[in-house]
Amino acid sequence: MSVERGTATKRPGRAADASWRIRGEVLALDRPVVVGVLNATPDSFSDGGLHLEPAAAVDRAWRMIEEGAGVIDVGGESTRPGADPVPAAEQWRRIEPVLSRASELPVPLSVDTTELEVASRALEAGAAILNDVSGLRFEPRLAELAAESGAGLILMHMRGDPRTMQDDVAYDDLLGEVRSALERSIGRALERGCGRDQLVVDPGIGFGKSAAGNLELIARLRELEGLGAPILVGPSRKSFIGKVLDLPVDQREEGTVAACVMALDRGARLFRVHDPRRARRALDLAEAIRRAGDGPRPDVRGA
């Protein structure tokens, strides 16, 4: 497993300069990390059916790495609104061909699942990260797997489950509720033996939120920095972009990049996207601008 190692000088107290411990290695977050989405599913909202064939899935993983992905997130179950659950055996059948090549890929592999059996087999195959969209609500034992293996653990906020999450998207205090739920998820993980440095939090853009709520989440993302874990966002091609820009799913890349850049400015360090190349370039430039602004201001008097 090849892991990016940063060289930038650390600034104490800055969540943006954190790192993430995954299976004995350290993934440096001083440079924004692009997480490439690889859905081995027939019904995902954006790329369903494109990577069901093992060869196509593996080829796509390599292309995303070439385009700048620092992590590949593999999923065998769609979590789009209204999606039905997929049995663990079928999930594994879909993702095993990619995970069986884990040792050949130069970046860590993440598995997007809430199923204990799938997660366990994925870790045995060489996956380094568990991505739990339920934040340990569905299967708390995923935290024990992460603790035993040293795997990274992504804890996401979602109200309800994929079938019901869009039934109620009204919140009295959106950021307060998301923060409290993520605090509970972190607590579950720590109670079951995980180190805090194994954890990443995800506010769950598009999961049980309205279009306005998703915009608010990104705008107020700084309010989640106090959780003490790096922040991942996944705005890629989501419906809120389509509603704001009046665009179909296959024309939302510019909106995705804009959402990622705004999230970067507000403290996010990991960005889960379908198109790593565009996100990688935009985030690298935005990070360079951000760092230039952190330095001493030149004396321009008389210039």
- Specify if 270 maps to a domain: yes
Task: Measure the CA dihedral 116/120/192/24, to 10°.
Answer: -150
User: Which residue is catalytic, options 238, 266, 269, 278?
Assistant: 238
The reported pLDDT for the residue numbered 160 is 76
Scored b (16 or more CB within 10 A) or e, 15-32 reads bbbbbbbbbebebbbbbb
Q: Is 13 part of a structural domain of the chain?
A: no
- SS3 of 30-71: the string is CCCEEEEEEECCCCCCCCCCCCCCHHHHHHHHHHHHHCCCCE
**pLDDT of the residue at 98:** 84
Give the per-residue pLDDT at 298: 55
> Is residue 10 annotated as a catalytic residue, yes or no?
no
Distance CA 75, CA 39 (A): 5
Alpha-carbon distance of 95 to 76, in angstroms, equals: 6
Range of the domain at 121: 21-291
CA distances from 47 to 41, 43, 165, 184, 235 (A): 8, 8, 21, 32, 15
* Any domain includes 87: yes
The one-letter amino acid at 187: G
The Cα–Cα gap between 122 and 272 comes to 19
Q: What is the CATH number of the domain that holds 67?
A: 3.20.20.20
Is 248 inside a domain boundary? yes
Q: Give the chain's domain count.
A: 1
pTM above 0.85, yes or no: yes
The answer to whether 272 is a known catalytic residue is yes
245-277 as b/e: b if 16+ CB within 10 A? eeeeeeebbebbbbbbbbbbebbbbbbbbbbbb
Mean pLDDT by 10 residues, the chain (303 residues): 39 58 95 94 50 76 96 86 81 88 90 96 96 96 98 94 78 96 98 98 95 97 96 96 95 97 98 97 96 70 48
Q: Is residue 274 part of a domain?
A: yes
CA distance 264 to 220: 12
Which of 23, 272, 278, 280 is flagged as catalytic? Answer: 272
- Whether the CB-CB separation of 107 and 70 falls below 8 Å is answered with yes
Asked if residue 297 belongs to a domain, the reply is: no
Query: Is residue 12 domain-resident?
Result: no
Any domain includes 206? yes
